[in-house]
Amino acid sequence: MPVEDDGIDEFVCQAQRSGAASSGHHNLNYVLPLPERPAQLIGSEQGTPVLVRVPRAEAASVVIRTWRNEADLLESLKGLLPHAPRCLARTATATVLTYVAGTPFSRVCPDGKPVDSLYISDMAHLLAQTTAVRREALPPLPGYWPRDDQDSRSYLRTLALSADRQIRQPNWPAYGGLLNALGIAEDALVRLAEHVPAMTRRPYGLLHADLHRDNLVITDHGNPRLIAVDWELATYGDPLYDLATHLVRMRYPESQKAEVIAAWAGAVASVTPAAADGLDRDLPRYIAFEQAQSAFPDIVRTASSLAWSPHQEDLDKVLHEAALSVHRALEDAAEPLRLHAIPNADKVRDLLRPWQAPSPDNWSPPRTVQPVGPHHEKLDPDAQDAVGDGQAGCPAFA
């Protein structure tokens, strides 16, 4: 089990004072060598580099989480996925993980750039390997999780309701007015869940669910060439969802997507053969969901960034880029969220303008329109016959 000790608390404080920090959406990450005392506690050599991860207290709730603690998941994966990072120690406010030495894939091959076929093969095998990890090997799942470990339809419903519960609801008091003004209804994700059609049954497995260029490391030793890091959004369910999130978040050129899909299907064939059943019909449904739920964090992050922008000398440019970003998110989510009229970029810019602030000192979220009243979920994610088989206006859900 990961070590818990006062000496680890002191090491975490040292990391925050002097470590090499990098900032993600959800955590502050510090890389530094182990001093003598923490090394003894952990059972590692003094000077071994480790990663100290401290959750960002101010981070908005904009992701779906299956497990609250990444450390518990990584502990369960020892011996199952040998190249996954390991949790060495934990405190009340941080975790200490093994450090993967290498270069972030995003530095070598930024978003939108073609990916070498060797790396596509490596990523496909990374995703395939996780599908072999079953429920009994993992930390306990939430009580609302589907009980049938092959029910793809219930899994997609569960994802949609989880996105509403964990992303939309916490952000609605501050951002509901803006979302309404952009055309997104309060119950958009619940309605999406209500209209998930029949889907092919596939065996559930562990999913990384966030395998993009920043979460891949090209290793220094080259064996393996790639390692997946940042498992905090991992989940358990239909393997096709892992492929969908990878395709959306990896930002491949359009011309490479067919190659990626074929590589994934070939890789899972030797690990979980049934994982690719119904791929042609059901993959577009998961991609549509991913684009739908992504609109919420994209809009929330963009709007909140305007209040904290360090580029106060060029507010018009910042606002213009923010409007384009939000407009793209709306276009991607238009069909699955059934957005009837997407405001143009100029209108989006006008709606975002009140979110700009010359100083964050006295800032509070503006009210574009009054949000509607309290939301109540209507759908039991385990119900098999309570919903229809089609969603008007969204080909992926037909």
168 pLDDT band, cuts 50/70/90, is: very high
Bridge partners (DSSP) listed for residue 37: none
Judged against a pLDDT cut of 60, whether residue 250 lies above it is answered with yes
Q: Tell me the C-alpha to C-alpha distance, in Å, between residue 271 and each of 128, 130, 133, 193, 266.
A: 7, 9, 10, 30, 10
| pLDDT tens readout for residues 117-163 | 999 999 999 999 999 999 999 999 999 999 999 999 999 999 999 99
Q: Tell me the C-alpha to C-alpha distance, in Å, between residue 225 and each of 110, 121, 179.
A: 17, 11, 42
Bridge partners (DSSP) listed for residue 299: none
| pLDDT tens readout for residues 36-46 | 998 998 889 99
**Mean pLDDT value of segment 74-89:** 92
Which range among 98-107, 124-133, 384-393 shows the weakest confidence by mean pLDDT? Answer: 384-393
- How far apart (Å, rounded) are the C-alpha atoms in residues 203 and 398? 23
Answer yes or no: are the C-beta atoms of 354 and 166 closer than 8 Å: no
- How far apart (Å, rounded) are the C-alpha atoms in residues 119 and 263? 10
26 pLDDT band, cuts 50/70/90, is: confident
| Amino acid symbol at 138 | L
Answer yes or no: are the C-beta atoms of 202 and 146 closer than 8 Å: no
Residue 317 has, within 13 A of its CA and on its CB side, a CA count of 5
